[in-house]
Structure 1
Amino acid sequence: MTHIKRRTVLAGLGAFAVTPVFAPAIAQKRYDEGASDSEIKIGNIMPYSGNASAYGVIGRTSEAVMKMVNDAGGLNGRKLNFITYDDGYSPPKAVEMVRKLVEEDKVLVVFNPLGTPSNTAIQRYLNTRKVPQLFVATGASKWGNPRQFPWTIGWQPDYATEAAIYAKHIIQNNANAKIAVLMQNDDYGKDYFNGFKAGLGAAHQKNLVQVSTYEVTDPTVDSQMIQLKNSGADVFFNITTPKFAAQAIKKAAEIAWKPIHYLNNVSSSFASVLKPAGIENSQGIIIALYRKDASDPQWANAPDVTAWKQFMAKYMPNADIRDDGHNYGYCVAHTLLQTLKQAGDNLTRENVMKEAANLKNYESPLLLPGIRVNTSPTDFFPIQSVQLARVKGESFELFGNVLSNESA
């Protein structure tokens, strides 16, 4: 496994590295708001409307996973009450909905809220209220800061690491590459871009010949794509969410621009990105993956993929299984289930957070071989490994080694 050196993760023991409290001989059940002998309340916000609505399937899939668990008798005998609201990818709306979850619905945790802007808006509130902000659906590096924000933890590989891997791959293959970047003009886009520049290193900053930005409220990125082509770039790093990723791929084909194309992982869905853009236009695009493409024939007999297909057939029969959001939602929901299993009958917010920071080599369903979930009180980056792949036909062709940021 190849290791990529990243900036030092903020050190510090955080709120949960405290003097051990020894349990009595017979463990007592302990609860905070949102938990009881019969129920665990799990809060969630997702953009079910607006320009990022393609991600809404993640919330619906997590909701279906909870139903599957309940149908099997619940988790440790408790039913999972999954409460999810639409925030429209709007930070003010995210704050409103999270306050409702905490103050009115009284959930035990807020799980997998999506988007860097929305999570930034709710982070301080949840940490002040000491409510776990678990496994956020964004790879911004800020979610791995247990010293400052001990109640917030990431899940997927962080954007800065992913972008650095792309940059290193570009330079290794062509030290004189002329690179153009399209990026969303917010914290999400900047986190990717800063990681990309760090990966290029000072000696290769000159390789960046054009950087164009767009706003999440923009109707298209057509003008930006024309600008990028006119720069003369032969490599394109595409930092976009699904709607704009599909537009960018399609526009590149329309204007006959054929650079080596790197696409950020958040837009790796065949259903919401590559098919709308045109499969023929998407060939050869390079993406860093950490989960299996469950529709890829190479995984057809993998037990976790078989289980996922059975789950989808029963609980989401009308869904497009090529939409990567279903894969993501299933995988991250199982990481939550593992955390709650480890918490057992001690369902306080503090103990749930402690267990979220105590995941050891957990093999969540659908992760690629060699990739595991690992956390500790000082490591709030659960998944730090990826493998590069390129679009080939209607699946991904993996190549190279697993690239990892895990501690040695």
Structure 2
Amino acid sequence: MSFSRRSAAMVLAIVVTATSLAACSYSKEVSDPADDSRCKVTTKPATGKDDTADGAIPATNPDAKNWGLDEDCTYTGAGDFSIDLSKCPVGWDLNSGVTTKINLFTSVPHSGALAAYGAIGDGMKSYFRYVNENGGIYGRKIDMKIFDDQYQPDLTRKNVDKAIESNEYAASFGLLGTANNLAVRSHMNKQCMGQYLTGASDNVLFDPGKHPWTSGFGLDYYNESAIWVEALKRQYPEGAKVALVSIDNALGKAYVQGFKRATKSTKFEVVTEQTNSPTAPNLDDQVTTAAGSKADVAILIEAGTFCTQGIGAIEKSSWDPTLIVSNSCAQIETTFAPLQKQGLTGNGTETVRYYYAPDDADVGDPRFAALVSKKLKEHGLDSHNAQYANGWFWAWYITAILKDASVMKGGLNRATINIASHQYNTRYPLMTEGVKGMVSGVTDAYPFESGQVYKYAGATGKKAGTFAPVGKPIKNEGELGNYTKAQRK
């Protein structure tokens, strides 16, 4: 498998114009574009050896050097994307967070009911430690600050405000949670603070034309739901009755919307919809009601311990539907392994995945999987916890973006990081078959649009099971474009 980066295409489009727009000065006062002081930069494009460590560190895209700062002080990228820095606040600094280091931040739950997801941030730091040990980003070391928000949107906003006011950070990456990201998106765009590779895949986050300082990440909920439906068509060619059990927050609502969108004009009928509060003690009532529908298919859209509770409640009941769980529940260590304490297995549960965990039997690249496990252990982290490995996945793409931004015209700064965040074309070493990792400005804002259905099997009361592929990969590459375009389909 080759991990060299290929041509990335992407262009960030501002609503005001389809062409390049003027950049702002260090003083950030809006002035005439012809004023050379408005695009003065302190860095130059990086040169030198691009040590990719045999794919463990992504290679720089050779086309990246063609994008960035133009002669008229504008920043442009591929895919009809450009950014208007003249709209940034007075006092905004193009070079904040970029010195001999690259200062980034994220906000994740390190305490509270969903604290398990905080491991993603720790996994990111683990990968950055590996990158720094291997030369960093053309000599610059990456430093990431992790703020704890307990998965509470109001705390996410406070963390973001603190980061912006400090003027110490180049951008944020991997802010976790749909509601959390939506709570800060407008503010971050007004402040020209990058909100990149969001730790939420709600389709509304993939709209660079309207929100140029935000880039979504992950297999979006429209595409994931469409893959569920295509897989169900194989099992139920004449259609089936479906029960939906979902968490009553932005995550659950987005998935439900995606599923209903995907089942439109099909023979699949939603016969019951059960929701649970994020603070509910368990899902017993919801599962009992859903079981009463005798639906052929149950779709569980949850997060954290609710995933385990829902799977367990269905297994303990007399109801035996085809069970599909959202990708947010697709972790063996945190979702399925705890079932063993209840004498349950979770066997037969299906989910969609688009990249492997390092513990999987088939990982695509055993060498890289072994590296992930080895480094996590060296860094004092549980190599069997997929959330730490998820952090490596996010950080690998962040690294690709920072490397591309470094060689762009104008050198590494907050504007070129923005451009690079909206144009990349590279496959993570543990991607499943047929999945690309590519965005191209407003033309195609969805990096992952295909996936593989997996079934959990082989678990006993003494050991966890494994995921095995079901059927062939389902590919939707290039189908949606961006959120605004997808809404018209």
With the length of structure 1 as denominator, give the TM-score of the two structures. Answer: 0.90
- 1:186, distance to aligned residue in structure 2 (A): 1.8
> 2:418 matched to which residue of 1?
353
Mapping for residues 26-45 of structure 1, pairs under 5 Å:
28=44, 32-36=95-99, 38-45=100-107
Counterparts of 2:148 and 2:13, CA distance in 1: 34
Q: Of the candidates 330, 336, 351, which is equivalent to residue 268 of structure 1?
A: 330
> 1:150 matched to which residue of 2?
212
Render the CA deviation track for 1:249-296: whole Å, top value 9, x for unaligned: 111122232211001011100111011123853111111110113212
Q: Of the candidates 391, 403, 407, which is equivalent to residue 341 of structure 1?
A: 403
- 1:390, distance to aligned residue in structure 2 (A): 0.6
> 1:6 matched to which residue of 2?
none
Counterparts of 1:283 and 1:230, CA distance in 2: 22
Q: Which letter does structure 2 place at the counterpart of 1:384?
A: E
- 1:123, distance to aligned residue in structure 2 (A): 0.5
Mapping for residues 316-327 of structure 1, pairs under 5 Å:
316=380, 318-319=381-382, 321-327=383-389
> 1:389 matched to which residue of 2?
454
Counterparts of 2:184 and 2:232, CA distance in 1: 36
Cα pair 1:331 1:367 within 8 Å, conserved: no
Q: Which moved more, 1:375-384 or 1:86-95?
A: 375-384
SS of equivalent to 2:274: strand
> 1:13 matched to which residue of 2?
13
Change (3 A) 1:299 1:202: closer
Counterparts of 1:402 and 1:171, CA distance in 2: 14
> 2:361 matched to which residue of 1?
297
Q: Which moved more, 1:53-62 or 1:376-385?
A: 376-385
Counterparts of 2:311 and 2:286, CA distance in 1: 12
Counterparts of 2:417 and 2:476, CA distance in 1: 25
Counterparts of 1:370 and 1:58, CA distance in 2: 25
SS of equivalent to 1:359: strand
SS of equivalent to 2:438: coil
> 2:142 matched to which residue of 1?
80
> 2:372 matched to which residue of 1?
308
Mapping for residues 179-218 of structure 1, pairs under 5 Å:
179-204=242-267, 207-218=269-280
Q: Of the candidates 395, 399, 405, which is equivalent to residue 470 of structure 2?
A: 399
Cα pair 1:42 1:111 within 8 Å, conserved: yes
> 1:328 matched to which residue of 2?
390
Change (3 A) 1:17 1:356: farther
Q: Of the candidates 125, 131, 140, which is equivalent to residue 193 of structure 2?
A: 131
Mapping for residues 362-377 of structure 1, pairs under 5 Å:
362-377=426-441
> 2:91 matched to which residue of 1?
none
Cα pair 1:268 1:324 within 8 Å, conserved: no
Counterparts of 1:34 and 1:17, CA distance in 2: 29
- 1:301, distance to aligned residue in structure 2 (A): 6.2
Q: Which letter does structure 2 place at the counterpart of 1:257?
A: W
Q: Of the candidates 243, 247, 250, which is equivalent to residue 309 of structure 2?
A: 247
Q: Of the candidates 321, 324, 331, which is equivalent to residue 259 of structure 1?
A: 321
Counterparts of 2:12 and 2:137, CA distance in 1: 32
Counterparts of 2:446 and 2:202, CA distance in 1: 10
Render the CA deviation track for 1:355-379: whole Å, top value 9, x for unaligned: 111202x012322233221011112
- 1:105, distance to aligned residue in structure 2 (A): 5.4
Render the CA deviation track for 1:124-158: whole Å, top value 9, x for unaligned: 11111111111001110011101111111111010
Cα pair 1:40 1:78 within 8 Å, conserved: yes
> 1:109 matched to which residue of 2?
171
Q: Which moved more, 1:343-352 or 1:212-221?
A: 343-352
Q: Which letter does structure 1 place at the counterpart of 2:361?
A: P
Aligned length: 391
Q: Which moved more, 1:272-281 or 1:373-382?
A: 272-281
- Provide structure 1 residue ranges, at least 5 long, that are not aligned to the other structure: 1-10
- 1:401, distance to aligned residue in structure 2 (A): 2.4
Q: Which letter does structure 2 place at the counterpart of 1:33?
A: S
Change (3 A) 1:35 1:95: same
- 1:243, distance to aligned residue in structure 2 (A): 1.0
> 2:53 matched to which residue of 1?
none
Q: Which letter does structure 2 place at the counterpart of 1:359?
A: Y
Cα pair 2:396 2:428 within 8 Å, conserved: yes
- 1:397, distance to aligned residue in structure 2 (A): 0.7
Q: Which letter does structure 2 place at the counterpart of 1:306?
A: A
Change (3 A) 1:137 1:101: same
- 1:12, distance to aligned residue in structure 2 (A): 8.2
Change (3 A) 1:72 1:203: closer
Counterparts of 1:137 and 1:263, CA distance in 2: 18
Structure 1 vs Structure 2 CA RMSD: 2.5
Structure whose alpha-carbon radius of gyration is higher: 2
- Provide structure 2 residue ranges, at least 5 long, that are not aligned to the other structure: 1-10, 23-38, 46-68, 70-93, 459-464, 480-489
Q: Which letter does structure 2 place at the counterpart of 1:59?
A: G
Sequence identity, in percent? 24
Q: Which letter does structure 1 place at the counterpart of 2:258?
A: G
> 1:69 matched to which residue of 2?
131
Q: Which moved more, 1:194-203 or 1:222-231?
A: 194-203
Cα pair 1:246 1:273 within 8 Å, conserved: yes
Cα pair 1:189 1:240 within 8 Å, conserved: yes
Cα pair 2:163 2:169 within 8 Å, conserved: yes
Change (3 A) 1:339 1:62: same
Cα pair 1:17 1:377 within 8 Å, conserved: no
